[in-house]
Structure 1
Amino acid sequence: MAVTKIHGIKATVDKAIEYICNPDKTDEQIYVSSFACSPETAALDFKYTLDHTNEQISSNGQNRENKAFHLIQAFAPEEVSYDKAHTIGKELADQLLEGKYSYVLTTHIDKGHIHNHLIFCAADNIDHNHYHDCKKSYWKIRKLSDRLCEEHGLSVIHSTEKRGMRYNEWSANQNENSWKANIRKDINQAIKSSSTYDDFIALMNAKGYEMKNTSLDQNSGKYISFRPSGKDRFVRGSAKSLGKNFTKERIKERIENKQERKRMFTRSDNLRQLIDITSDTKFSENTGLKKWASKENLKVAAHTYNLMLSKNIHNFSELNERINVLKEQTQTANRSIVSIEHQLRELSEIIKYAEQYQENKPFNDRYENAKDQDRFLRKYESRIILFAGAERMLQRKGIDPRHMKLEHLRKQYRDLISQKEKLAIQQKSTSADLKELEQIRQNMEEYLQVHPLDQEKPFNPNSTPEL
């Protein structure tokens, strides 16, 4: 599990970078990484980019005061090693900043919990536009951080809604014996299966719940209350008791938002899966609920069958073959996108150093020919340092800076961006098709009760089991 927070730096970028690079905190700077800058001269690199910024005024008319942003990613105690924490931090920086922003990343190991510090320039190196720090960008950070933690085997606080979940709500959900957690689970399932708020109330009744104050009328009580079968008291649908996503107003809003998302999709991306009636004991104990689930399964099966025929698929063999083709196409597109992202990251760094080299070369030439070099150096020290650093980095990459063509490099970058966008559209479409076919296969296997190894015969709707 990792917690993230971010804030802007309006001044003293050099002091902030000096702090996060403290050798006592980073194991003598073993856990220090950077991109498109050197930790020692990062403040100068940031200033160079900011001086070329095109967008000095934000969309709401406010001045862009931040010189850099400081992102902290803190891990749960004793859950992650130093090396893994630094690796996760680097992956987060590369995926979040997409090779456009210069950054310095460090991992601090001097506290009870390991944490990463990421300081990145407020403007990017390609278009010289400001990073837009807002709620949407924060949720992107959190989502990326959670996904990377999962990929590296760390725990994650899951939230079913973008609005987030209180820690005590998350903690309660970890306890399988928590009856409030079971109420939340039943409410969430009912929301998924309901088209209207009235459907939700009917379904909760079918699940055996007694409810009070369900009306949305102003004369009704403020909080909807739930009492599961076998319990003595009601539980309020309030932010304090169940969580802010379980008030009656929020429940209605979630159902309406779900329906709106369904209307937005012309394809059947929302093809539902069958309800498991056999393994869940609540269906055997509640005849009404079982009857409702059986009817829902019949609707899903009919929709699945019609969708399958519309795709000219007649048996499992054809379905599996189509799925395998789409899987290969998705994997090929993913590999191509990853390769292009690596090229973009490398090229953006080269472009930045090429710009620094060309713009600061006149100052270096004048310095070499100056009669009083010490005086000239004192006046233009930052320019000369940036020139030397850019020249050194370009040479390390096997580029002769005297013969490079900056506009040609920029064209290469634009062409790669165009390729990536086309591949991303293709990959998204293919992934949606694949997800749909996999759900079709799962529904047909479960509803027709066909073993995965016995999939050569054609689909026969007359062979469906009786309800």
Structure 2
Amino acid sequence: MATTRLIPMHVIKGQTVAHTVHERLSYAINPDKTNNGQLVKAYGCEPETAAGEMLLCKKEYETYIGRSEEKKSDIVLYQIRQSFKPGEITPEKAQEIGYELAMSFAKGKYQFVVATHTDHAHIHNHIIFNSTSIDHTQKFRNFLGSSEAIRKISDKLCLENGLSIIEAPKQGPSHYGKWLGDKKPLSWQEKLRQTIDTVTAQKPADFDTFLKLMVESGYEVKQGQYLAFKAGGQQKFTRLRSLGEGYSEEEIRSAIFGKTVHTPKAKRPYRKNPDKINLLVDIQAKLQAGKGPGYERWAKVFNLKQMAQTINFLTENNITDYETLVEKTKAATDRYHELSQQIKEIEKRMTEFTDLKKHIINYAKTKEIYTAYRESGFSAKYFESNTENILLHQSAKQGFDSISSSKIPSMRDLQQELKTCWELKKSTFKEYSISKKQLKESLTVKSNIDHLLSQNTENRKEKQR
């Protein structure tokens, strides 16, 4: 994974522009940090003379515009810091990705130096580019969203090279190496999905080529009843069928042979203010509680939006009168409780099957010991030496006596019953989730309508008085 940060580099206090440029670049290309200078690469200049060439470009820019920029702006360089997860990448690959990032972001218009540092546990790049363009006709302007643009480019490059990413690294004054870990790392399943996305994007000729590319991406392949992959450092194999829709062996084969198109698993977009119906704000009560005019203005706008969404709900559900709303709300409530009860009953049955399965296993495992105990005339000495197994056997027999059916099911039948219950629970829970959402919307809409009706009643009484 890689985190990025764009840093404007100002003139060092009390120093000149020339001193600042030399100082910043000297730190970046320090031989002790860059494997004796082998991990330094430049564009539009030479690493050894980069400071002088960048300063010359700045002089030509001043000549071009006819005035000095030193007093107008003290930003002389920009730096992109790109940090990688420890143990996930080599210094050479990190420098290659850093150079591609700089070229993609600066579009070849600005001189830059990429210095890959290996003096910390996390390999990281210092990408320093000149604030003045190579053709000395313009200066780089740090636009709104530039950090986000850099992050997206970096993430794309990481995914193309089979590396994990952090979706939203924190920006702030803390050292950039500490960003790693601010976000929960990607699961093995998500890493495998991303690698499959990258490999299928290369359009392998056949399935064997696909498997070869997966091996080259660092995965071990296990082919049997179910195709599975294991990354370096991973303890267990991950089956393709566990990755969800679009990632089964059949679906990948179909995409490779051009029958279908492989679509990466869509991520749920983050929405700060999702479109949902909320309860109306009681403005008068809030004002009496001490809220000011600013809150009143906000609350009025908020209530207008919520009423618009409330009306949309009524229109979409063809609700034209209050009685219909009450009926639909009651129906949603009943359905929600019905599904909730169904899930509880399924879970209870699954618990019974699980307990019965445990009893069958314990009974079979301890049968010979209990037979010997019985043949010994229930010897106290034999009981002391085999207490645990004898108690397990007796507990299993009591469990069998408690079941309603006289016939104890086989382990195969029991496994099938558990599988059936699990599938039923999944399908019921989907319907339950939808029902829960519908109930919440109905209750909120009804509360909003009740609030409006009560306000209208109060207003009529006030007018009558």
Range class of TM-score, shorter chain:
0.3 to 0.5
For the pair shown, the structure with the greater C-alpha radius of gyration is 2
Q: TM-score if structure 1 supplies the norm length?
A: 0.38
Q: TM-score if structure 2 supplies the norm length?
A: 0.38
